Amino acid sequence: MSAYVLGFEEIEKTKLMVVGGKGLNLGELSRVEGIQVPEGFCVTTEAYKRTVQQSKKFTELLNQLSLLMVEDRERIAEISENIRMVIEELGMAKNISEEIIRMHSELGREHAYAVRSSATAEDLPFASFAGQQDTYLNIIGSEALLEHIRKCWASLFTERAVIYRMQNGFDHSKVFLSVVIQRMVFPEASGIMFTADPVTFNRKVLSIDASFGLGETLVSGLVNPDNYKVRAGKIVEKTISTKKVAIYALTEGGTQEQEIEPNRQNKQTLTDEQIIQLEELGRKLEAYFSSPQDIEWCLFENTLYIVQSRPITTLFPMLDLNDGENRVYMSVGHQQMMTEAMKPLGISFFSFLSNSELNTAGGRLFFDLSHDLASPIGRKLILTTMGKNDPLVHNVISSLMERKDFIKALPKGKRMLTLGSEELTWSLPVKAIQAYRKNDIAIVQQLISESQESLKEVEQTIESFSGEELFDFIEQDHKQLKELLYDQQSLGVIMVGVYAVNWLNKKMEKWLGDKNAADTLSQSVPYNVTSEMGLALLDVSDVVRQYPAVISYFEEEKDEAFFKGLVKVEGGGTVADSLRTYLEKYGMRCTGEIDITRTRWSEQPTTLIPMILSNIKNFEPNARSKKFEQGRREAEEKAQDLLTRLEPLPGGKQKAKKTQKMISVLRNFIGYREYPKYSFISRYYIYKKALLKEATVLVQKGIISEKEDIYYLSFEELREVVRTNQLDYRMITERKEKYEFYEKLTPPRAMTSEGEVLFGQYNTDNIPEGALAGIPVSTGIIEGRARVVLKMEDANIEEGDILVTAFTDPSWTPLFVSVKGLVTEVGGLMTHGAVIAREYGLPAVVGVENATKLIKDGQRIRVNGSEGYVEIV
């Protein structure tokens, strides 16, 4: 077997680093029974390595390239061009060129060939490098073949290929190129087939693009191809496009664009029989490779040839559970305002809190709504609960309900949203009524006191446990945590607070035409632990502002030994005390905090520095009390204004009396809504610190490399590792790679068991043209500079900025103090960001799809928190 050339039939699964992704797939394809593949061979990566490594100039340029960042576009372009020139001018070793010419002769020098690149980082399950290197068609003769092999090698360093590798974390010096030499077929038609619908991700629907001539017409975008959708041997949808041109091969070599005769331009490219035949081939390849495939095909003399097959890398993964039933799953992350991927330990812990079984896909959690949707009562409950907070969920469910056959096929069983469930027993409304009648803030004080006592007890008790006993304790304590979270009195208080919000908004709009009145009435309410957290950081900022040396330290200091360095500068000891006091109460918080594995503020206090510096820049001293007092006064004035305007109305005195009671109920109870989450996140941090002590022991024993490795194990897997002191470390490595892939995915709001993703759409009839639609959650209109922030620690907020981000959980609250408005991609009327925006009096629109991509940092935008849209001004 040659080191420099391999025929397709010689390529085995172990040869990825020798022939690259494309070459490996062609080797596999040529062995699939019933699949016609044009014959050919691969010039191996060894040939590439031997050729380029003899050049000192190439090595020098490659070293220069490795020092650049993605932003250095001009230098990337310059160095890449120089590398390409060096490669194209390199001589090829005699034994390499002889091997290529020998294989070329065996296949027939008189034939035309396609010369394609096959990179070792190409066509792999988690990254598609499709189109990053060049392809040459209809190459005739040995000299032309050798020339175009060098051109293919050089195309590894096109500007787009270099940037793509940088963005996906591939080292240029470790990506090698094989070249595929494949006999040309001169097709009547060609195209691409996806064995899963590339738009909806439905695994049962196959999608075919087809046009006349060579596939380059389609790839280059010269024509709109026909599109056929096929499901289980039936064509379910056809789009026949007008195809004015095609690319055909020339007999002397090369290709030419030709106009299609007018009477063929609107003709269906493939017959129905050929479409069904192509689907069968697609399903056969999908089964062989055990994953959905992106397949290049062509039709020659009524035979369908497969030119290439690679995994589709853009699909959101299917759920682990696949019992053959038709099911609908709803995203937990969209409900919890945390749509980023979670690590296995985080998934385990959050799953413990649910009374319903949760399912995992793409590092995200989903709950099964199939039984609810199968029931008329269940559908109504979904629309009035989830759908009320999030119109996109409402639209998703409504559109599903229109698919009668789909709904009929859903399995029937115990519903998740049911008045008979643990979460919503009949005693809950009774507790809510009692809280409403008493209208006593002492109820909230008592609930908070009980929760704090429980936390203190856990913190003291957990110290005495280690090893297997620690896992037993955490498992048992979770039961108490669930009791606290689902406590009827606690849920009753929250229910009454939300009821008061809805009542006031509905009645004030009906009686006075005053929209979203509860927004202003909710400002500066007592016992809102999340809004208090944002205001408390203003006090810390006041301590910091007194010491210029501390401010300088903050502007340059990194995470390592933060407090140790802080106490060495003037005023550092005082600031450290203030910051530690803050962290004692709020240090368990962080972005994505429902994932126990996320780095907490106490673990990385420097996360708070940008917010502290922004506070110093944007506020005068003593801003906390001024800001709270201003909100309280605005709420009081709003209440008085409403009552004054109600009294002259028919039945005005009665309406005013009822409204006054509702305002009192709102202000007594709505702040508590944030507390249960604070409580369980506090408990999680206690668990986490205990588990990290166990992780330290595992590192000392050499079982794991670093403490954070435990995040890639489920709770039960970690328990077993602690018990046995055994672990196959490859599991950690594989899960780290998967997590990196999952991080890049955008999870859907809902998905079906067929993999179809459901995102939902807004009705945009009543908003200005070009505006971005969302959900109005905090009234008011504000115009200002958009500050697009993807990570809280990167925030640099100026006075008057509007925060634009993917989602906000409670940890983002300190930023709300400095901004004048809020736009998020995910959210609903009663989610944390919305509640705090109302309390701080910030106009806010949430659920704006792709806001962080459509709005550019620094653009001037207008946020309409009353009607629910954002305009780019």
Q: Residue 62: how many CB atoms within 10 A of its CB?
A: 17
Spell out where 676-820 has E strands: 750-752, 757-758, 772-773, 775-778, 781-788, 802-805
Phi, psi of 21 (to 5 degrees): -65, -45
Q: How many CA atoms lie within 13 A of 785 on its CB side?
A: 11
Spatial separation of the C-alpha atoms in residues 18 and 43, rounded to whole Å: 9
- Identify any residues that bridge with 191 across adjacent strands, giving them in sequence order: 210, 297
- Please name which of 752, 751, 755, 753 lies closest in space to residue 323, comparing C-alpha atoms: 753
Q: Residue 843: how many CB atoms within 10 A of its CB?
A: 26
Q: Is residue 612 within 8 Å of 541, Cβ to Cβ?
A: yes
Spatial separation of the C-alpha atoms in residues 820 and 827, rounded to whole Å: 18
- Please name which of 567, 536, 563 lies closest in space to residue 549, comparing C-alpha atoms: 567
Angle of helix 45-52 relative to helix 142-154, nearest 10 degrees, comes to: 80
List all residues 6 or more positions away from 345 whose beta carbon is below 8 Å from its beta carbon. Answer: 596, 597, 691, 710, 711, 712, 713, 714, 715, 718
Locate tokens 């200002």: which residue? 784
Grouping H, G, I as helix, E, B as strand and the rest as coil, residue 667 is: helix
Q: How many CA atoms lie within 13 A of 472 on its CB side?
A: 7
Q: Is residue 214 within 8 Å of 190, Cβ to Cβ?
A: yes
Choosing from 104, 148, 371, 832, the catalytic residue is: 832
Radius of gyration of the chain from Cα atoms? 32
Task: Report residue 386 as tokens.
Answer: 């989830």
Handedness of CA 592, 595, 599, 602 (dihedral sign): positive
- Give whole-number Cα distances, 434 to 289, 437, 675, in Å: 61, 5, 20
- Please name which of 252, 193, 141 lies closest in space to residue 35, comparing C-alpha atoms: 193
Known catalytic residue: 371?
Answer: no
Q: Is residue 807 within 8 Å of 755, Cβ to Cβ?
A: no
List all residues 6 or more positions away from 39 whose beta carbon is below 8 Å from its beta carbon. Answer: 8, 30, 107, 182, 183
- Please name which of 275, 219, 274 lies closest in space to residue 246, comparing C-alpha atoms: 219
- Please name which of 101, 89, 90 lies closest in space to residue 5, comparing C-alpha atoms: 101
Spatial separation of the C-alpha atoms in residues 543 and 555, rounded to whole Å: 16
Spatial separation of the C-alpha atoms in residues 697 and 448, rounded to whole Å: 36
Task: Report residue 255 as tokens.
Answer: 């290709």
Handedness of CA 287, 288, 294, 299 (dihedral sign): negative
Locate tokens 């009692």: which residue? 434
Spatial separation of the C-alpha atoms in residues 271 and 668, rounded to whole Å: 70
Q: Residue 606: how many CB atoms within 10 A of its CB?
A: 14
Q: In what order do the strands lie in the sheet with 750-752?
A: 358-361, 364-368, 328-331, 750-752, 757-758
- Identify any residues that bridge with 118 across adjacent strands, giving them in sequence order: 178
Which value, to the nearest 10 degrees, does the dihedral of the CA atoms of residues 158, 164, 166, 167 take? 160
Which value, to the nearest 10 degrees, does the dihedral of the CA atoms of residues 474, 475, 479, 484 take? 30
| Residues taking part in catalysis | 832
